Amino acid sequence: MRIEEKASKFEIFDGEIIKDGENRVQAHLAVITSKDQVEEVLAELKKKDPDVPKATHNIWAYRIFDAKRDAYDEKCDDDGDDTSGAKLLRFLQRTRATDVMVVVSCWYETTAEELREVRFKCIQKSVRDLFVTHSGKVSILPRKIKWKFYEEAPKFEILHGETIEDRKSTFQAHICDITSRKQVDQVLNELKKDRKIANAKYNMWACRIYDEKKKSYIEEGYDDGENLGGERLLHLLQKSDAKNVVIIVTCWHDGKLGKDRFKHINKCASDLLEQRKISKN
């Protein structure tokens, strides 16, 4: 297995191999500016190191700043190692890493379940060491690197709506009470622990939070590729005067619905907002 720093067109850097008995973990870091480069980085890694395709898991996460939307584009994949991708993304968020992708290759001789928290400690060390070594290559908050990768995020009570199915497409809304913008990302991470949701075509969302200090609302919507999807959800929150809430609509598309898709998005979100209102009353 090669352990060397060799910059590619993506500026990929390899970390040291961390061992625990027969189990091995190695982190890789790439500077990227577009989510389109994710598959290219994975392909480049597998090309330059023949051991990477043989890994038990190739966990990854990226965090890119989108100047046009003035927001972050984030995604993760645990490649079968439950919750590892979400934890890795949370690490990027806590260090405020920008325009970066991290891939962690894991070669396990035992199952992830048998390794339990030990695997998270190994993954954490490999990622932290790589960030310390190459802190000058990426935009991060150095003092946050010591944050524990395996700490659990706050638990949220997420309410899931009924699914709506039409012509091989499925829509489902999710809603959660929150008190800060930071918690939006945490709720999304919690949701995406479900691989089916993480792999959906769209996970559009909107949040509306009342800031007691400023006496004003923090409002934001994210389309995730569905044009105006986040904006429509935000309008729904404003219209219903909902506050301290994030609503997410997950869409699995396998057919052409035209404008009907917006009808389904609106209905599943509206129904769940009404359900939340009733439960609070």
Domains of the chain (ranges; CATH) run: 11-134 (3.30.230.30), 158-279 (3.30.230.30)
Q: Are 92 and 61 in contact (CB under 8 A)?
A: yes
**Residue 280 pLDDT class (50, 70, 90 cuts):** low
Which one is predicted more confidently, 143 or 117? 117
How many other CB atoms sit within 10 Å of the CB of residue 3? 10
Question: Which residue type occupies 141?
Answer: L
For the cut 70, the answer to whether the pLDDT of residue 152 exceeds it is: no
Answer whether residue 251 shows pLDDT above 60: yes
Across the chain, mean pLDDT equals 83
Q: Could you tell me the pTM of the whole model?
A: 0.51
Lowest mean pLDDT among 59-73, 123-137, 179-193: 123-137
Question: What single letter denotes the amino acid at residue 112?
Answer: A
Where does the pLDDT of residue 138 fall: very low under 50, low under 70, confident under 90, or very high at 90 and above?
low
What integer pLDDT is reported at residue 39 of this predicted model?
92
Structure tokens that stand for 220 in this block: 């934001």
Return the minimum-mean-pLDDT range out of 37-41, 144-148, 214-218.
144-148
Least confident of 20-34, 51-65, 81-95, 225-239: 81-95
- State the pLDDT confidence band at 3, using cuts at 50, 70 and 90: very low
Question: Tokens representing 226?
Answer: 């569905």
